[in-house]
Amino acid sequence: MTTSEDILANSTNEASLARTRQRSEEIDRAIDEDPTRFRMLTGDRPTGRLHLGHYFGTLRNRVLLQDRGVETWVLVADYQVITDRDGVGPIRERVIGLVADYLASGLNPEKTTIFNHSAIPALNQLMLPFLSLVTESELHRNPTVKAELDATEGRAMSGLMLTYPVHQAADILFCKANLVPVGQDQLPHLEQTRLIAQRFDKRYGRATAERPVFPRPEALLSQAPLLLGTDGTKMSKSRGNTIELAMSADETAKILRKAKTDAERVITWDPQQRPEVSNLLLLASLATGQSPQEIAESIGDKGAGTLKTVVTDALNDMLAPIRARRMELMDDEAYLLSVLAAGNERANEVADTTLAEVRQAMSMVY
């Protein structure tokens, strides 16, 4: 028998991934036909500046979806910062910086609702009924939570760390998003979200009702393959192997000069045997739209030095307008705050409406 725990634990296995990928392609076609059928939500933890992993992994994709006419909601997940760390850090600065990253990358506040957790009381209140709909073993078996806990090297599991996928379900369900563009690591959370939506409607008699309270949100897997850091290991700010949107062209060049390559002079696209070289080719490919094979061929036996120059130029060209716009925005903090305030106002309206529906479904209206 397949239990819900298996479903969660297996949501990132090969067969399941293949299905999710195929479904993502179907959704992509459905968006072309009618983008107004979708409401998309995604978010980021304000734990630092956004880097190329974020940009190619999701941010660029969000902007494209927004521009194709999908209603877009983007969450600055400030409460999620305290899942795996003890303090909030320079949170205000980071939140404002994140909003600047968003707008500089092309999110348009006229079309997209940008908001943050801690400003939306009704979103957070959904956590309570939702917690009653999940089991402890489901929570303990969530592979992403496990991996995140392991990465903290010996930190104790906090109640919030264990239950944050439920909070994330509230992020998605409060605004009734039916589309969540995410990377692979977030798939277990999305599976958990669907279970919560299903169980809520079942438990409170809405499953067969004409209008269930919640949609069953689906993943839109990002096309970008897994990017490595410039040292060939997992991309992570703490390893200093990332290129941030906010870096200068010189800083970008400096990091890439130090990038790890290999001893082979002829540059070839070979992700299995030559992960570091291939990762650099992939970056250049993502920035220019040329295939990695083509880029490799054009470099040929000119070696790793030339490869690094090619990648640096490709990235700096792509990032130049984003960086210029970001600098301008960072000079106008009042504007950035006003974008967030407007997003929060809208998110609060929607969250209040959903919470009222939830209380109605639960017969808690007195």
Task: List contacts with ligand TRP (CB under 6 A).
Answer: 41-45, 75, 77, 80, 168, 171-172, 180, 182, 186
Write down the number of H helices and E strands in the chain.
16, 5
CA dihedral 86, 91, 94, 95 (to 10 degrees): 120
Nearest distance from residue 220's CB to ligand TRP, in Å?
11
Cβ nearer to ligand TRP, comparing 170 with 314: 170
Q: What is the DSSP string of 156-206?
A: PPPHHHHHHHHHHHHHHHHTT--EEEE-GGGHHHHHHHHHHHHHHHHHTT-
Contacts of 332 (CB under 8 A, 6+ apart): none
Please check whether residue 200 is in contact with residue 130, taking contact to mean a CB–CB distance below 8 angstroms: yes
Q: How many residues does the chain have?
A: 366
DSSP 90: S
Nearest distance from residue 255's CB to ligand TRP, in Å?
22
Cβ nearer to ligand TRP, comparing 71 with 276: 71
- Cα dihedral across residues 59, 65, 69, 74: positive or negative: negative
d(CA 93, CA 95): 6
Cβ nearer to ligand TRP, comparing 62 with 308: 62
* 3-state SS, residue 322: helix
Cβ nearer to ligand TRP, comparing 190 with 315: 190
Backbone dihedral region of 338: left (phi > 0), alpha (psi from -120 to 50 degrees) or beta?
alpha
d(CA 156, CA 153): 9
Cβ nearer to ligand TRP, comparing 47 with 230: 47
Nearest distance from residue 300's CB to ligand TRP, in Å?
38
Radius of gyration of the chain from its Cα atoms, rounded to whole angstroms:
21
Nearest distance from residue 23's CB to ligand TRP, in Å?
17
Cβ nearer to ligand TRP, comparing 186 with 192: 186
Nearest distance from residue 180's CB to ligand TRP, in Å?
5
Nearest distance from residue 342's CB to ligand TRP, in Å?
20
Please check whether residue 58 is in contact with residue 45, taking contact to mean a CB–CB distance below 8 angstroms: no
Nearest distance from residue 306's CB to ligand TRP, in Å?
35
Cβ nearer to ligand TRP, comparing 172 with 245: 172
Nearest distance from residue 77's CB to ligand TRP, in Å?
4
Cβ nearer to ligand TRP, comparing 42 with 252: 42
Cβ nearer to ligand TRP, comparing 239 with 254: 239
Nearest distance from residue 45's CB to ligand TRP, in Å?
5
Tell which residue, 50, 143, 65, has the closest CA to residue 100: 50
